[in-house]
Each structure stands twice: as C-alpha cells, then as structure tokens.
Amino acid sequence: MNKHAIAGIIFAVSLIADILTKWLVVSKIALHERIDVIGSFVQLTLVYNRGGLFGILQGYQAVFLVVSLVVLAIMIAFYVFEKNKTQLFCVSMALIASGAIGNISDRFIGMLGIADRPGVVDFVYIGSDAVFRWPAFNIADAAIVVGAGLLLIVFFVEEKRRKRSGAA
C-alpha cells in the first residue's frame, strides 16, 4: 500500500472517530457532567469550546473558523507542493488535516444552526482537580497535536539529512 493510501486511511479513521465520539458525547452526556474513566484522573465530560486552543479567547468562534480554514488551506498546499513526501510526513499531514476538519465542522454546525452546538465539542478531561486539570479536548485536538509532533520529527530528520549531505 502506498504512503498516500495509508495517509488517506489514517485521515478517514481519525475524522470518523472524532465525529462519532463527539456525537456520542453530545447524545449521552449532560453538559458539564463528569464520568470517571480511570479514577477521577481521566474523565469524560461535555463542554463547548467557543474559543481557540485550550479555550483561549472564548467567544471569537468566527475568528477561529477563518483562521482554521486559512491554516487548513496552507497545510493542503504544503502537502501538494512538498517534494519529499516521506511516509511520516504523509501521516502527520493526514492527522493535522483530519483534526482541523473535525473542529471546523463543529464550528460550522453550531454557527449554521444545524445542531445545538455553541462551540467545538470537547470531552476528554485529564488531571487532578486538586493539582492541575488539563483543559478538555477531543480526538481532533489530539490528532492535531500528534500530527504536529510527527511533523516536527520529519523536519528534524530532514535537517539532519541536509547537514550530513552538505558536510560530505
């Protein structure tokens, strides 16, 4: 199987998992209800993020929608025009794109009134209330973070390769 097909499968699985889990959470969990998964350290909850990453700038959903669309367009162009598409590069871009589309679709659903979603559906809640609890997130957020981390590895490996070939 070629690298683009594998990336396509990862894109589809990630996006479907994001959409399905958000639908399940919205239909089965009450707003701000907490369900322990691994003790109280990992919980499921339903919150709507009307802002950006980690809930910053709440209420600027339209701004984040535009920014997300622009970034997605840039990422697609980067994917199309990149000459050295390694398997890891393709996978990282698939994860980032699926996450972006998952969160963009949430913003559209809410803004267009398709469903009663006043923001991006976040539901994974990790940490301790007594110490620190990470802001709630979703599968799309996780895909973006993992994809960005993999992309950093791609850039690091490529830079090392260039330095080796330049030194030879």
DSSP H helices, the chain, are 3-28, 61-81, 87-111, 139-167
The edge-to-edge listing of strands for the beta sheet with 34-38 is 34-38, 42-49, 120-128, 132-133
Name the DSSP letter for residue 137: B
Which among 36, 106, 116, 122 is annotated as catalytic? 122
Does residue 116 have an active-site annotation? no
Determine the straight-line distance between the first and last CA of the chain, rounded to whole angstroms: 34
Which among 18, 36, 116, 141 is annotated as catalytic? 141
CA atoms within 13 A on the CB side of 2: 3
Radius of gyration for the chain, computed over Cα atoms and rounded to the nearest angstrom: 18
Does residue 36 have an active-site annotation? no
Calpha distance 128→90 (Å, rounded): 36
Q: Which residues are catalytic?
A: 122, 141
